[in-house]
Amino acid sequence: MLEYRQLTKLKGTYVDALPAQIDPRTGRLHTSFNQAGAATGRLSSSNPNLQNIPMRTALGREIRAAFIPREGWKLLVADYSQIELRLLAHLSDDPLLVEAFRNGEDIHTRTASEVLGVPPMLITPDARRDAQGGELRHRLRHQRIRTGAAAGHPASRGGEVHQELFRRATPRPHLHRPHHRRGPPDQRDANDVRPRAAHPDINSRNANARGFAERTAVNSPLQGTAADLIKLAMVRIDRLLTEGGYCSAMLLQVHDELVFECPPEELDAVSALVKKEMEGACALKVPLLVDIGVGDNWRDAK
């Protein structure tokens, strides 16, 4: 049943729908980008939504294989590496995150290592996955950590590890205090100039709705800043491609990722240009890193 539902979703939403929206004059899909559609400032895409092409499952990724450049050209994909975590390190000034990113360490392995108190070489894949994306912090309340015997921490220590995570790996408290609950403007500190966004459920009596609003309040500055950085990079890249007389074109933005099509002779130069402008969009306390992929279709350009 689950497999059937997945196949039905892929077929109806992508396999059947997307070809019907190809422009007969150009032979291409043309999306609309909405500058102010998201509260955080992220671009959104519509008619069709090309920021929603699957990538999390092997079967879903096959949809991306249908997206190809013009004949003889290549697709170039430039993707920010862990940009929101890097912005979290910058904004929170958390020494663990800042040091790890500056040293080029795997941040999830480092987080699990710090929390569990064992060397990085002993961190199991399961423990790393638990650390990824803050999973340890949010999930250990409800489940026991899966570390394996090599780490030397029995599974029953989930609650203790959860407390250790907050003690050693939680960024500065000001990022975890939803600033929307500090009272009306006339009761706030006059020096408090942090950006604010409206989250109507921040004071909801429904715990689930309130929790979601609080998490959104914390994440909004990170997601919004990431959106600003990639927009800056896009403007600069577009200008440089025009000034340099390149034939390469920027086709698509998918939040932290830019997609270009390039003739083979321009690949090296455009790759270097794109990487430089994206990584240099803003000077942070930690380096911005961009992964570059090239392929004959969107799926393989990773």
* Distance, CA of 271 to CA of 280 (rounded, Å): 14
* Residue 244 sits in the same domain as residue 169: no
Residue 255's region, left for phi above 0, alpha for psi from -120 to 50, else beta, is left
pLDDT by 10-residue block (mean), the chain, 302 residues: 93 95 95 88 94 90 95 97 91 87 85 79 78 50 38 45 48 50 43 52 83 80 93 97 97 97 98 98 95 96 84
pLDDT at 167: 52
**239 within some domain:** yes
pLDDT at 175: 56
Print the domain residue range for 141.
105-182+199-220
* Residue 31 sits in the same domain as residue 124: no
Is residue 285 within 8 Å of residue 90, measured between CB atoms?
yes
**98 within some domain:** no
Tell me: cis bond preceding 48? Omega within 30 of 0 counts: yes
Total domains in the chain come to 2
How confident is the model over 148-193, as pLDDT tens digits?
A: 333 444 444 444 544 544 454 444 545 554 444 444 444 444 444 3
* Distance, CA of 135 to CA of 124 (rounded, Å): 15
* Residue 130 sits in the same domain as residue 152: yes
* Residue 127 sits in the same domain as residue 215: yes
pLDDT at 251: 97
* Distance, CA of 176 to CA of 160 (rounded, Å): 21
* Residue 161 sits in the same domain as residue 127: yes
* Residue 274 sits in the same domain as residue 232: yes
* Residue 78 sits in the same domain as residue 123: no
Residue 94 has which token pair?
């958390």
Contacts of 60 (CB under 8 A, 6+ apart): 6, 10, 54
* Distance, CA of 258 to CA of 274 (rounded, Å): 9
pLDDT at 153: 45
* Distance, CA of 108 to CA of 83 (rounded, Å): 14
* Residue 173 sits in the same domain as residue 113: yes
* Residue 230 sits in the same domain as residue 211: no
* Residue 109 sits in the same domain as residue 216: yes
CATH code of the domain containing 18 = 3.30.70.370
pLDDT at 197: 56
* Distance, CA of 268 to CA of 244 (rounded, Å): 14
**302 within some domain:** no
**95 within some domain:** no
**242 within some domain:** yes
**14 within some domain:** yes
**260 within some domain:** yes
pLDDT at 122: 83
**265 within some domain:** yes
